[in-house]
Amino acid sequence: MTEYFRYHHNQLYAEQTPLSEISEKFGTPCYVYSHAALTHSYRQFEHALREHEHLICFAVKANPNLAILNLFARLGAGFDIVSGGELQRILAAGGEASKVVFSGVGKTAAEMRLAIQAGILCFNVESEAELLRLNEVAGEMNRIAPVSLRVNPDVDAKTHPYISTGLKKNKFGVAYTEALDLYRKTSKLNNLRIVGMDCHIGSQLTELSPFIAATEKMLILADALANHGITLEHIDLGGGLGIRYLDEVPPAISDYVQALLRVLQGRSEKIILEPGRILVGNAGVLLTQVEYIKHGAEKNFAIVDAAMNDLMRPALYDAFHAIQPVTLESGKSVEQYEVVGPVCETGDFIGRARDLAISQGDLLAVMSAGAYGMSMSSNYNTRPRAAEVMVSGKIMQLIRERETVPQLFSGEKIFD
Ligand code: LLP
């Protein structure tokens, strides 16, 4: 529960809009975002960083809906992208290419061309092979590409292994011990211009110490570069700040930024951050309806109309999302349920062993679903993807139509 999703008179609201009205108007499953929550989280970063030159690059992968990108763009955000597709979304949403950093281990030549053409701020290059390709592509275009090396600082983020990225054994970035050499090589490539250094150690971090350790290592490297005549315009410390799903106590945005600034004291480089989850995670819920209650031999099941294709995190990471009834009713008895979807997989669950007072037809809100919810959704089982709605006060607006089944197979052809 946050101040943006709260009960009034036993009804769960998004800001001043009852979630039941959203379901009546747009159906379920449906993602619902709070405009005020999104704005507030972004502004907290701006405020905390106000005394140091900075750029907050929203990690688009967390939630790439055009309305969300447009909101952040209007607030002044830059963007962290990992594909040409994400760049096109930013341009379509009114974002500025000059505030875009491009991460990812597998950039294609076509994606590089697109990004050079658009005039992005920086390529976060993750290997020597990528560096050589980028130099070649920029050369063919008669352009100079701005680069930063994504350095893998070999710091343990202490998070789920699937979303830990800053260890030696991970595929991300260039090895810390090789970074200096690679920067020197980069400085000799004619179509590249070194502008920064970058790291991202993982996601859903709930402690400050790994961020501090990574930043300290980055600065040691930046100083070593300076000794070799290589100066940086910016240092990008990635994203990764965690949110509360259940009982985690992640650092507040202001404490996180303060901790980074303490390490960066006296530095003149611009700071770039790439937050994703913290900006959107608790600004969204997934609204779903109970289709059936089923009393199995061992367990009770609440079968809902959202499934692993809509919210993959529980199936993929065993992630926890709180589940709240949209209407609190006294008189219903509390029972323990497996909250599951209709998809034909045992892994298709939204929540396990949840104590809920619910019956068939009830609406449920799956909380903290604004990050990596819709963005990781799929059409498995030929399920059209959910609608998305943005709420601001009493206003609700559809920001993505529910997909239709014909759309799903419109590109397919019978073999003849
Ligand atoms: N920058 C880079 C280079 C990244 O790879 C990521 C996330 C971010 C920034 C943003 O990290 P955040 O602030 O959101 O933690 N699907 C997973 C999370 C995968 C994160 C991938 N990289 C999940 O649902 O938990």
Q: Convert the pLDDT of each residue in 89-142 to its tens digit.
A: 999 999 999 999 999 999 999 999 999 999 999 999 999 999 999 999 999 999
10 Å CB burial of residue 208 (0-12, 13-18, 19+) is middle
Same domain assignment for residues 260 and 380: no
Residue 270's pLDDT is 98
Same domain assignment for residues 173 and 27: no
Q: Binding site annotation covers 176? A: no
Residue at which a domain ends, from 277, 301, 320: 277
Same domain assignment for residues 287 and 271: no
Please compute the mean of the pLDDT values over residues 185-208 and round it to a whole number. 97
Please compute the mean of the pLDDT values over residues 392-408 and round it to a whole number. 98
Q: Convert the pLDDT of each residue in 148-194 to its tens digit.
A: 999 999 898 777 776 667 667 777 889 999 999 999 999 999 999 99
CATH number of 296's domain: 2.40.37.10
- Evaluate whether 121 touches 99 at the Cβ level (below 8 Å): yes
Question: How far is 323 from 7, CA to CA, in rounded Å?
Answer: 14
Residue 172's pLDDT is 81
Residue 284's pLDDT is 98
Question: How far is 107 from 163, CA to CA, in rounded Å?
Answer: 20
**In whole numbers, what is the pLDDT of the chain averaged over residues?**
96
| pLDDT at 359 > cutoff 90 | yes
Q: Binding site annotation covers 3? A: no
Please report whether residue 401 resides in a domain.
Answer: yes
- Evaluate whether 81 touches 103 at the Cβ level (below 8 Å): yes
Residue 35's pLDDT is 98
Under DSSP, the state recorded for 36 is H
DSSP element (H, E) containing 186: helix 176-186
| pLDDT at 326 > cutoff 90 | yes
Residue 164's pLDDT is 67
Question: How far is 132 from 111, CA to CA, in rounded Å?
Answer: 15
Same domain assignment for residues 289 and 267: no
- Looking from the CA of residue 124, the nearest atom of ligand 1 is 3
Same domain assignment for residues 246 and 345: no
| pLDDT at 61 > cutoff 70 | yes
Please report whether residue 95 resides in a domain.
Answer: yes
| pLDDT at 200 > cutoff 90 | yes
Please report whether residue 174 resides in a domain.
Answer: yes
Please report whether residue 402 resides in a domain.
Answer: yes
Residue 278's pLDDT is 98
Q: How many CB atoms lie within 10 A of CB 91?
A: 14
Please report whether residue 203 resides in a domain.
Answer: yes
Residue 223's pLDDT is 97
- Looking from the CA of residue 372, the nearest atom of ligand 1 is 24
Residues 6+ apart with CB under 8 A from 59: 79, 80, 239, 274, 275, 276, 277
- Evaluate whether 77 touches 121 at the Cβ level (below 8 Å): no
Residues annotated catalytic, as ranges: 344
Q: Convert the pLDDT of each residue in 40-59 to its tens digit.
A: 999 999 999 999 999 999 99
| pLDDT at 400 > cutoff 80 | yes
CA dihedral 245, 251, 253, 258 (to 10 degrees): -170
Residues with a CB atom less than 6 Å from ligand 1: 59, 62, 80, 103, 163, 200, 203-204, 238-241, 274-278, 313, 372, 376
The number of domains in the chain is: 2
Structural domain for 143, as ranges: 35-277
Same domain assignment for residues 263 and 332: no
3-state DSSP assignment of residue 241: strand
Residue at which a domain ends, from 242, 277, 312: 277
**Whether pTM exceeds 0.95:** yes
Question: How far is 52 from 271, CA to CA, in rounded Å?
Answer: 7
